Chains A and B, each alone.
Chain A
Amino acid sequence: MELELFSAAFLSALFAIILIDLVLAGDNALIIGLVARNLPKDTQRLVIFWGTFGAIAIRAVMAILVVYILAVPGFMLGGGLALVWIARKLLMPEADTATSHLAPAATFAGAVRTIVIADAVMGVDNVLAIGGAAHGSVLLIVLGLAISVPIIVWGSQLVIKLVDRYPSVILLGGAVLAWTAYSMVVREPLLAAWFEAHPATKLVAAILIFSIALGPWYSERLSENLKPLVVLLPALLVWMLAFEVAAGVWKVQVDYLLATNEGEYLLAGLRWLGWLPLAAAYLWLREQVQKRNARSARA
């Protein structure tokens, strides 16, 4: 899809790319520091320059490649689902120690290679997200990287100060990732015709994506008794969506208003009430696990 230059859609996509770049940015300075710490001072300066250059170059190439990969049927859906997990992970309050195993390099080439590979591995989620937000526009990706990479590389302290002063930027990043995931799922070519035939499922898909992606956020605000909702709400939506999919695939009638025989009425009943025993079983199982944990903690 080609976006008109400086239209609302173009600027929105650019804003989404920059925001995603900032909240998912890897800590290049830390990686370079870890890898080049045993090298001589002169070589360290070269490593900083070529490591940063290589990281930016590989990031740009990967982001442009993702745009073309996402055009292949099926990848848009897969990318959208991966983004839901990425958004969830972003909001999950936990310490990140992914780079603690990075060993110092002995040579210049080894250091640059390690930095570039580490950045490429760390940046997979980032390029997937900006590829999805770019709506197939390479220009948007290049512009987004041209604006955000200098901020991340030379103004990392600025970014840290911004998110430290306004942690809501992280929540907004999570919401934008979820919104991008939703738009990727509904743009999937393999599902486009199905979504056209079942327009209401778009809303169900949106609520499902937001409820899973933003789960860590709203579960923090729920009391202990209401915490199971974080699992039950998305599970219920998946249940309903599964019946809608089954109705389309196996050509069965799941709408009780249009049911004509006992089998179809049974199916409609299963759709609206069948989830209740499963929910009860989940709550019972959860309680048992909590009791067992409490017992083992006391022991």
Chain B
Amino acid sequence: MRLINRSHRAAYAVRTVSPGGELFVASVVICMILASFGDAVDPAMLSEAGLEFALFDLGGEFSVLAMRDSHLLQLLLAGGVLAAGITVLRVVSAAFFKTLRPAPAEDVDKVPIKL
């Protein structure tokens, strides 16, 4: 028996994990896959192929994304930054779209506009 199985929440981690924790681990996994992409393909090859003329320096874009030879701590840090960025983006976009939502027609604060 594993030590973690003594905790019900830990034994059923895939169900009990918090949204924040899940976002962080998912971001780390994305960074790990990006790092393996960097190991697999040299992004410089893309620019050598002439793609920078076709699509705004695609090779350069991929050079930023592909984290070649990244270590676990760097991936954790990058995952944390990515998760924080996604959270900020979610909060800001939610606030932005909230202001765009029209008030209900029968609301007392509704300004009557008659054409």
A residues at B contact (CB < 8 Å): 8-9, 11-13, 15-16, 22-27, 30-31, 91, 93-99, 122, 152, 156, 159-160, 163-164, 166-172, 175-176, 178-179, 182, 186, 199-203, 205-207, 210, 214, 216-217, 220
The 8 Å CB contact of B14, one of A27, A172, A217, is A217
Verify A202–B36 contact, CB threshold 8 A.
yes
Q: How many residues of B contact A (CB 8 A)?
A: 37
In the assembly, what is the distance between CA of A4 and CA of B71, in Å? 13
Chain A residue with Cβ nearest B21: A168
A contact face: mostly helix, strand, loop, or mixed: helix
Contacts of A179 in B (CB 8 A): 32, 72, 75
Verify A207–B33 contact, CB threshold 8 A.
yes
Verify A182–B36 contact, CB threshold 8 A.
yes
Known contacts A8-B71, A170-B4: A199-B10 contact under CB 8 Å: no
Contact with A along B1-35 (1 / 0, CB 8 A): 11111110111111111101110110011001100
Contacts of B39 in A (CB 8 A): 186, 199, 202-203
Contacts of A96 in B (CB 8 A): 1-2, 5, 11
Residues of B49-83 whose CB lies within 8 A of A = 71-75
In the assembly, what is the distance between CA of A9 and CA of B71, in Å? 6
What's the nearest-Cβ distance from chain A to residue B81, in Å?
16
The 8 Å CB contact of B32, one of A27, A30, A97, A206, is A206
Q: Does B111 contact A (CB under 8 A)?
A: no
Chain A residue with Cβ nearest B37: A203
What's the nearest-Cβ distance from chain B to residue A88, in Å?
11
Q: Does B40 contact A (CB under 8 A)?
A: yes
In the assembly, what is the distance between CA of A58 and CA of B7, in Å? 26
Contacts of B21 in A (CB 8 A): 166-168, 171
Verify A206–B1 contact, CB threshold 8 A.
no
Contacts of A175 in B (CB 8 A): 25, 28-29, 32
Between A96, A163, A170, A186, the greatest number of chain B beta carbons within 10 A of the residue's beta carbon is seen for A170
What's the nearest-Cβ distance from chain A to residue B95, in Å?
26
Verify A8–B74 contact, CB threshold 8 A.
yes
The 8 Å CB contact of A95, one of B11, B41, B74, is B11
What's the nearest-Cβ distance from chain B to residue A33, in Å?
11
In the assembly, what is the distance between CA of A175 and CA of B23, in Å? 13
B contact face: mostly helix, strand, loop, or mixed: helix
Contacts of A182 in B (CB 8 A): 32, 36
Q: Given A12-B74, A202-B40, 13 more contacts at CB 8 Å?
A: A12-B72, A13-B72, A27-B1, A27-B5, A94-B11, A96-B1, A163-B13, A167-B16, A167-B21, A169-B10, A170-B4, A175-B25, A200-B40
Chain A residue with Cβ nearest B39: A202
The 8 Å CB contact of B10, one of A15, A16, A156, A164, is A164
Verify B29–A214 contact, CB threshold 8 A.
yes
Verify A203–B3 contact, CB threshold 8 A.
no
Sampled A-B contacts (8; CB under 8 Å):
A23-B4, A166-B21, A170-B17, A171-B13, A182-B32, A203-B39, A210-B29, A220-B14
What's the nearest-Cβ distance from chain A to residue B1, in Å?
5
What's the nearest-Cβ distance from chain B to residue A205, in Å?
8
- Which A-B residue pairs are the 3 nearest by beta carbons? A168-B21, A206-B36, A170-B13
The 8 Å CB contact of B41, one of A11, A170, A200, is A200
Contacts of A201 in B (CB 8 A): 40
What's the nearest-Cβ distance from chain A to residue B5, in Å?
5
In the assembly, what is the distance between CA of A147 and CA of B63, in Å? 37
